[in-house]
Amino acid sequence: MDLDDIFTASVFASAIRLATPYIFAALGETFAQRSGVLNLGVDGIMLMGAFGGFYAVHLAQTAGVMAEPLALLLGVLVALVVGGLMGLAMAFVSVTLQAKQGISGIGVYLFGLGLSELLFQQWVGTPKSVAGFPRISFPILTDIPILGEIFFHHNLLVYVAFALVPLSAFVLNRTTFGLMIRAVGQNPEAADAMGVSVTRVRYATTIIGGMLAGLAGASLSIALINLFQQNLTAGQGFIAVALVYFGGWRPLAVAAGAMLFSFVNALQLQIKVIGADIPSEFAVMAPYVITIVALVFATKRQEQPTALTKPYERGE
C-alpha cells in the first residue's frame, strides 16, 4: 500500500463534498445551542429536508414544467421551509411548552425519520434518482492541477456551505442579533432584564437551525447523492450535534471539525476502494471513534452556553 494511493486529490475533494451537510447542520445547531436550545432532532429534520427537496425536484423534473436550475432552487426552497417548520415545532415544544430538550429532540428525530419514510413509501415508492446540482467548472481555476480538483469543481451548495461559515461567525460575534443570542444562552435572566425577548430569540435560532438542517438534508438528496431512501442521513445529524461541542460553539472551529471528520471518512472510503488490508468495519468506525476521542479531550470553554437545555421561565 502506497501513501500516494491514499492521499489523492480526489480524497481531499470528496472530503470537502462530504463536509457540506455537516457544515450546514452543525452551523444551524450552533445558533440554536448558543441561545440555549439543544436540538437533538437535527437528523430527523435533515431527513425531512432531504425528502422535501428531493420530492420537489423529482416532481418538477418528471412534469418537466420548469427549467432545471429553477427545479433545483424549488427543491432548496422546499427543504428550507420544511426544515424551518420542523424547527418551529421544536421551538414550540421546548421553548413555549418548556419540555426537556433531550427528550423533545429525540421526538423530533423519530418524527422526521418516520414521516420521511412514510411519505417516501406513499408518494415515491422505490428509490429513484434526480438530476441534482451539477458541478461547477470555473474558467482557468478548475484547470489548475490538483488544486482545481480539490477546490474548484464542486456543486453550488458546497460553496454556499463554506460561505456560511464566516457569515455565521460574523452574525454571532459582530451583530446585535448575535449578541442577543449569546446573552440568551449565557444568562437568559440578564437578557430578559435588558429587554431582550428570550422566547423570540430562541424561536429565531431554532428555526434558523431547522432551516439549515433542512438544507443539509437537501445537500445530500439533490446535490451529493441525488436520491432519497429511508434513513438517508444515517445519523449524520447526531454527528453534527457532536461537532458543535467539538468546535466549542464557534463556527470556524465547528467547520474545522466537520472537515476533520469528513476527511477521515473520505480516507476510509479510499482505503476500501484500493482494497487495503484493514477490516472495513474498523475503517467505518474510525471517524466516529476519532470524534468521540476528540470530544473527550475538548475542554470546557468560555463560549459554552451555560443555559444550554434549560428552559427559561420568568420569576422563581
Partner 1 sequence: MNNPKTHLLPTGHARIESLTMSGIVKRFPGVLAADKIDFNVRSGEIHALLGENGAGKSTLMKMLYGLYHPDEGEIRINDKPATIKSPIDAIQRGIGMIHQHFMLAPSLTVAENIALGMKSSRGFQLDLDVVSQRVIELSDTYNLKVDPRLPIWQLAVGEQQRVEILRALYKGAALLILDEPTAVLTPQEVAGLFRILKQLAADGHGLVFISHKLHEVLEISHRVTVLRDGRRVDTIPTRQATRPKLAEMMVGRPVLLEYAKNPPDPREERLTMRDVSALSNRGATGLDAVSLRLRSGEIVGIAGVSGNGQQELAQCITGLRDVTAGSVMINGRDVTNAPPAALHAIGLSYIPEERMIDGVIKEFSVAENYVLQDHGHPKYTAARVFMLFNKIREACRRAIHLFEIKTPSTETLVKSLSGGNIQKLVLARELSRDPGVLIAAQPTRGVDIGATEYIHKQLLEERDKGTAILLISEDLDEIRALSDRIAVMYEGRIVGEVVNENVDIEQLGLLMTGGE
- Cell reading at 271: 482505503
Residue 175 touches partner 1, criterion: CB under 8 A: yes
User: Of the candidates 3, 139, 140, 314, which one interacts with partner 1 according to CB under 8 A?
Assistant: 314
Q: 279 or 315, CB closer to partner 1?
A: 315
- If you count them, how many residues does the chain have? 316
Q: Cα 176 from chain centroid?
A: 25
Residue the block writes with cell 489548475: 144
According to CB under 8 A, which residues from 85 to 144 bind partner 1? none
Cα dihedral 43, 46, 51, 54, rounded to 10, equals -140
> Which amino acid, one-letter code, is at 227?
L
User: Of the candidates 174, 235, 282, 284, which one interacts with partner 1 according to CB under 8 A?
Assistant: 174
User: Of the candidates 186, 206, 233, 265, which one interacts with partner 1 according to CB under 8 A?
Assistant: 186
Residue 187 touches partner 1, criterion: CB under 8 A: yes
- Span between the terminal Cα atoms of the chain, in Å: 65
Residue the block writes with cell 480516507: 267
Q: 5 or 313, CB closer to partner 1?
A: 313
Task: Give the C-alpha separation, 283 to 173, whole Å.
Answer: 38
Residue 182 touches partner 1, criterion: CB under 8 A: yes
Report whether 15 contacts 259 (CB < 8 A). Answer: yes
Cα dihedral 256, 14, 224, 83, rounded to 10, equals -10
Q: 121 or 173, CB closer to partner 1?
A: 173
Residues touching partner 1, count (CB under 8 A): 24
CB of 83 to partner 1, least distance (A): 23
User: Of the candidates 1, 189, 278, 289, which one interacts with partner 1 according to CB under 8 A?
Assistant: 189
Q: 34 or 154, CB closer to partner 1?
A: 34
According to CB under 8 A, which residues from 20 to 59 bind partner 1? none
Positive/negative CA dihedral, 40, 43, 48, 50: positive
| Rama region for 172: left / alpha / beta (φ>0; ψ in -120 to 50; rest) | alpha
Q: 2 or 314, CB closer to partner 1?
A: 314
User: Of the candidates 40, 46, 47, 196, which one interacts with partner 1 according to CB under 8 A?
Assistant: 196
> Which amino acid, one-letter code, is at 122?
Q
Q: 171 or 256, CB closer to partner 1?
A: 171
CB of 185 to partner 1, least distance (A): 8
Buried residues in 28-42 as b, exposed as e (16+ CB within 10 A):
bbbbbbbbbbbbbbb
Determine phi and psi for 108, rounding to 5 degrees: -65, -40
Q: 100 or 174, CB closer to partner 1?
A: 174
Which stretch, 64-72, 95-103, 171-179, 250-258, contacts partner 1 (CB under 8 A)?
171-179
User: Of the candidates 12, 92, 159, 177, which one interacts with partner 1 according to CB under 8 A?
Assistant: 177
> Which positions lie near partner 1, rule CB under 8 A?
174-180, 182-183, 186-187, 189-196, 302-303, 306, 314-315
